[in-house]
Structure formats: C-alpha cells, structure tokens
Structure 1
Amino acid sequence: MPAWITCAPFEQMLGMEIVKAEAGEAILAMPFVKSLAQGAGLMHGGALVSLADTAVVMAIKSMVAPGTHFATIAMENRFLHPVKQGILQARARAGERDGSTIKGSCDIFDEKGRKVMIFGSVFKIARDAEIKGVVYGKD
C-alpha cells in the first residue's frame, strides 16, 4: 500500500486496521471492544459510522495522488443488526464521480458474515486534484 494510506490517531484509537486499499476499493477491520459500546452493551453507532467513513476514505486514497485533499460532505447509513462482539469488516468502494465530488459506499459485516450496516457518502475533492488521469477543477 502507498505510504499515505495509513490510519490517523483517531482511527488507531478505535482499533482499525487496513487490510487492503487498492484500485478504488478498501477492506478495513475493527474489533468490538467494551470501550466502543453504548449503554446497552452494543457497539456504538458512531464507531460503526467511523469505520465505514474511514474505509471509503482509504478506497479514495487508493485512487488519488498522495497528499490530495478531500473531505466528507454528506453521508447516510442504515443499521441492520446490532453488534455485540467480534471483529467487524468494512468493504468499501469509491464510485461515481461528478466534477469535484466522488461518491462512496461501504457495507460492514460481523464475523459471521452478516451485513450489519450499509453506508453511502459523498466527498468533495480539492480543486486540481488528479484522479486516474482526470484533473478536477479544469472541466
């Protein structure tokens, strides 16, 4: 993986691990730990959303020039099943591009392979950023 595809301190605090990030796709893993639980003992939704958002970021980073600036400008998610234990896997894809925005999606699975969350997001790419040979901001 390129050197700039790494977890930031917040992502490290959550225990995220980048398994794969290439060609606009990424797989990340994150363990359920008690410190990420909400009051009823289930994994906090914010931790799941952080995993999905980070997975999409890594998918995008695998397509753009190192140092490219971009940020999440919209996101939507649906929780399908509660998480009470185990290692989660986030499978993300960078998708449709329109000018200086790029859409991403991510499905999160529990260790039994059950889909526990679906996630979609939109990112704003900085002007003049190159993605697969396309120069944005010069359309």
Structure 2
Amino acid sequence: MTDIAGTQLFHRSMPFTERLGVEVLEHTPALVRSRLAWDETLCTLGGALHGGVLMSLADATGAVCAFLNLPEGGQGTTTIESKTNFLRGVRSGYAVATSRPLHAGRGVIVVETEIHDVEGQLVAKVTQTQAVL
C-alpha cells in the first residue's frame, strides 16, 4: 500500500522523484521504504533499470531516512558520500529500496539502503553519508 504522505514528502522535497515515479511505502525514523516501477525508458539497452536510476532511488530514500533522523537544530542534509554495489539487474516489476540509519550524529548521518526486486532478490546495497545542515 502506498504511503501518500511519504510520497508527497519525496515529491515536494525532491521533484526528480516524481518524474521517476517513485512511490513511498513507509517512512519512519527507523525505516524508509520506496519503490520504482520498471519502465523501458529508464533502462539500458539490455532491458535492465539503469544504474543511475537505482542510485537515484537509493539516494532519495536514504535522504529521507537521514532527514527523519536529524538532530535537534538540524535543518536538512546533503549527501557527501555514496557507495553502491550492484548485484543483479531489475528487468520487470519494481525496484524496492529500504533505508535504515546506521549512525545518527550531530554532524553526519550514515544510512544503509538495500534495493530488492519483486522476487526479493538483492539488487544493490548502498551506504551513504549525509552531512547535517
């Protein structure tokens, strides 16, 4: 089921996510889940979702997770480092991203995001560091 408030938060704060068609499934400080439907216009010639699309999904999902874990007085975050391991392609259905905070400090927040396909197979693992603004 789509989390309407979460989807609006993504689209309002990151309009690019609306253009990609990102839908939020859940958003709490402990867990943010979103998904993106496979679409041939977002693919490589081989029919797999482009790595940049998957990274965009992970970055947006991780950014909201970091935002929901801001320390008192924090105004927002910005990605200062992101590392992605691609493990398989997404050739149909959805890519589902799940982000969890690993560290929520005063100056940086570290988030881990896993992307799975509709069959539950791990597609990519992303670790990103967000600077607190």
User: Is the 2:76–2:132 Cα contact (8 Å) retained in structure 1?
Assistant: yes
Written as runs of structure 1 = structure 2, the 5 A alignment for 1:71-90 is 71-90=78-97
How many angstroms does 1:34 deviate by? 0.7
Structure 1, unaligned runs of 5 or more: 127-139
Structure 2, unaligned runs of 5 or more: none
Supply the AA of the counterpart residue of 2:130.
F
Give the number of the structure whose residues are more often helix, by fraction: 2
- Greater CA deviation, 34-43 or 93-102? 93-102
2:45 to 21, 39, 46: 39
Q: 1:5-33: per-residue Cα shift (whole Å, max 9, x none)?
A: 33222111111011111123200011010
Equivalent position of 2:36 in the other structure: 30
Query: How many residues are paired up?
Result: 126
How many angstroms does 1:98 deviate by? 4.1
TM-score by length of 2: 0.85
What is the percent sequence identity of the aligned residues? 23
| Alpha-carbon distance change, 15 to 4 in structure 1, aligned in 2, over 3 angstroms | closer
Q: CA RMSD in A?
A: 2.2
Q: Which secondary structure does the structure 2 equivalent of 1:38 belong to?
A: coil
Distance 2:6 2:48 in 1: 34
How many angstroms does 1:112 deviate by? 0.5
Distance 1:100 1:119 in 2: 20
Supply the AA of the counterpart residue of 1:13.
R
How many angstroms does 1:104 deviate by? 0.5
User: Is the 1:104–1:121 Cα contact (8 Å) retained in structure 2?
Assistant: yes
Distance 2:6 2:17 in 1: 18
Superposition misfits of 4+ residues, deviation over 4 angstroms: 1-4
Specify the structure having the higher radius of gyration (Cα): 1
TM-score by length of 1: 0.81
Q: Which secondary structure does the structure 2 equivalent of 1:52 belong to?
A: helix
